[in-house]
Amino acid sequence: MMTERVKKLREQSLAAIPSISGDRAGLITEFYRSPEAGRTTSAVAHALAFKHVMAHKIICFNDGELIVGERGHAPKATPTYPEVTCHSVKDLRILDSRPKTSFRCDEKVIRMYEKEIIPFWRGKSIRDRMMEQLPDAWKDAYEAGVFTEFMEQRAPGHTVVDDKIYKKGMLDFIADIDAEIARLDFLTDPEAFDKREELRAMRIAAEALIIQGSRHADKVRERAGREKNPARKKELLRIAEVCNRVPARAPRNFHEALQMYWFVHLGVITEYNTWDAFSPGRLDQHLLPFYQAGLRDGSLTEESARELLQCFWVKFNNQPAPPKVGVTAEESGTYTDFSLINVGGVKPDGSDAVNDLSFLILDVIEEMRLLQPSSMVQISKKGPDTFLWRALKIVKTGFGQPSVFNTDAIVQELVRQGKSVEDARNGGASGCVESGAFGKENYTLTGYFNMPKVLELTLHNGFDPRTKKQLGPKTGDPAKFKNYEELFAAYKVQLRHFVDVKIAGNAIIERLYATVLPAPFL
């Protein structure tokens, strides 16, 4: 059951109109215009830019909420990332007016883009650099529609956290970083300088997240000073205490654990517009110790835990995916950021991981019925039938969640890829259906590959009738092929050629991100 608080927050989220926020774009441009940006390495510069955003971005605090923090200045206000790809004025007007998945864009933001953002980032964005550095063969195939490239629209970051952030605060990570810097060997390691700069950047990024927590604490405490309702005033002071604790230090209870994750989530998606999902992973496993401890000491009840989880669900639904640019601004759109919560599965020792919190999370999924976050159940042969039946009861409602995954198949696939059995069991799925070892790897999506287009090119001897260019190798006139086998052999030659073009391009794109636009917080 939803409390009145949750009903109001849910309705606010559903009624909120997605819009473009100019806050981050203005701040990131302001930093890169400053002399400080040019005095250091790219890794440290990006960390300082992130810190500048976290120190000055508008803090949004919604009435009645228990979990705090928004990416933009209001629910569903979505920032832009001009250092990755810069929207044109035409893009912004299309986004404002398109009939489906529109993003309202204030004229003030459009004027800021026209006068400040676009002139500064022209030629400097990763998309502009990419198009300058990639070979003509890649660009010709891309323009012909042989493949798409996600990295020219959004930054890498399709990954899932494990339990690190529930055991350590940012101050602990800073101590680890300092120890790692102290161990660097500048005498014999030629990469020591690059390692130090990346570590320095990570340290600054961790400090930035602490600033985010303390600014929210100040905002909530200020609100508490004006609050007339004694019960809400007490709540507000408790929220301020939570924000003073996390993310600087490790969470101690259920509320702090949820807020810790949410601050980290906001940090990742504020640093860059990660493609695709950044996800909490196995939430029932990570939160279980806090849930059990709270029930034991009386600081938590099942009802209060349910309400906190419901408030947590609303936060995800307040964050639509940042809109794209160019033709995709006109033709492609979704509000979903594909953040996927895993429930169930197995423990590192292979035993059943389903617990009381797994069932409580299923209740929340059914009650909230929100587009985000997405949810899935990991079904293992070790798990109880009651868990599967509970999930299927929700699926039966037609809501579309949770999706159902075979834990044993996920583990088998990850082990086949070379992961340890323990990492495979701690992993799962994220985004759409991608499997991975949580907390250990990033699965960057680099675009779609158009195999029918390759067939069309094969049928024209590597020539593209649309762009009037010889894109592929000359594999023969199909009219002269004696049989299907000859056609298919020619198709395979074309396919290998364009796969090689795509992969070679990705090697360049990945190095550009690593050297020009690293992600020290992530």
Digit-coded pLDDT (tens) for 32-86: 999 999 999 999 999 999 999 999 999 999 999 999 999 999 999 999 999 999 9
Helix axes 484-516, 451-458, angle to 10 degrees: 130
> For 121-162, what is each residue's pLDDT tens digit?
999 999 999 999 999 999 999 999 999 998 988 898 889 999
Contacts within 8 Å (CB) and 24+ apart, 292-299:
293/253, 294/253, 294/254, 299/253
Domain ranges of the chain: 4-8+32-85+135-446
Residue closest to 373 by CA, chosen among 345, 351, 402: 402
- The pLDDT value recorded for residue 443 is 83
pLDDT, residue 338, reads 87
Question: 209 and 170 in contact (C-beta within 8 Å)?
Answer: yes
Alpha-carbon distance 425 to 278, whole Å?
A: 19
Name the active-site residue from 434, 441, 486, 510. Answer: 434
**432 carries an active-site annotation:** yes
Q: What backbone torsions phi and psi does residue 460 show, to the nearest 5 degrees? A: -120, 25
At residue 352, what is the residue type? Answer: D
Which of 128, 49, 129 lies closest to 87 in space, CA to CA?
Answer: 128
| The pairing of beta strand 428-430 with beta strand 434-436 | antiparallel
Report DSSP state, residue 461.
T
Which CATH fold topology does 4-8+32-85+135-446 show? Anaerobic Ribonucleotide-triphosphate Reductase Large Chain (3.20.70)
Contact, 83 vs 128, CB < 8 A?
no
Looking at the chain, the whole-number percentage of residues with pLDDT higher than 70 is: 98
pTM of the model: 0.96
At 517, the pLDDT band (50, 70, 90 cuts) reads very high
Segment 292-311, tens digit of pLDDT: 999 999 999 999 999 999 99
**CA atoms of 356 and 265, how far apart (whole Å):** 25
311 catalytic residue (yes or no): no
Instruction: State how far the Cα of 75 lies from the Cα of 400, in Å rounded to an integer.
Output: 24
pLDDT for 26 beyond 80: yes
pLDDT at 325 > cutoff 90: no
Distances from the Cα of 240 to the Cα of 3, 231, 245, angstroms? 22, 15, 9
Residue 341 phi, psi dihedral angles, 5° rounding:
-100, 125
Give the pLDDT score at 328. 61
Confidence bin at 337 (pLDDT 50/70/90) = confident
For residues 338 and 239, which has the higher predicted lDDT (pLDDT)? 239
11, 107, 331, 432: the active-site residue: 432
Choice between 432 and 87, residue whose per-residue pLDDT is larger:
87
Compute the distance between CA of residue 160 and CA of residue 407 in angstroms, rounded to an integer: 16
Give 191-200 pLDDT, tens digit per residue.
999 999 999 9
pLDDT tier, 327 (very low <50, low <70, confident <90, very high otherwise): low
Q: pLDDT band for 203, please (50, 70, 90 cuts).
A: very high
Q: Report the pLDDT value the prediction gives residue 388, as an integer from 0 to 100.
A: 98
Average pLDDT over residues 407-418: 97
CB 291 within 8 A of CB 240: no
> Which whole number is the average pLDDT over 312-333?
82
Residue with tokens 């636009």: 517
pLDDT band at 99 (very low <50, low <70, confident <90, very high): confident
Please, what is the average pLDDT of the chain?
95
Q: Which residues of 332-360 are buried (b: 16+ CB within 10 A; e: fewer)?
A: ebebbbbbbbbbbbbbeeeebbbbebbbb
Q: What's the average model confidence in pLDDT over 173-194?
A: 98
Q: How far is CA 92 from the centre of its chain?
A: 22
**Per-residue pLDDT for 333 more than 90?**
no
Q: Residue 331 above 70 pLDDT?
A: no
Gap between the Cα atoms of 193 and 269, Å rounded? 28
d(C-alpha 356, C-alpha 2), whole Å: 19
The DSSP letter of residue 116 is: I
Q: Which H helix or E strand runs over 346?
A: none
Q: What is the pLDDT of residue 332?
A: 63
Q: What would the pLDDT profile of 448-505 be if each residue is shown by its tens digit?
A: 999 999 999 999 999 999 999 999 999 999 999 999 999 999 999 999 999 999 999 9
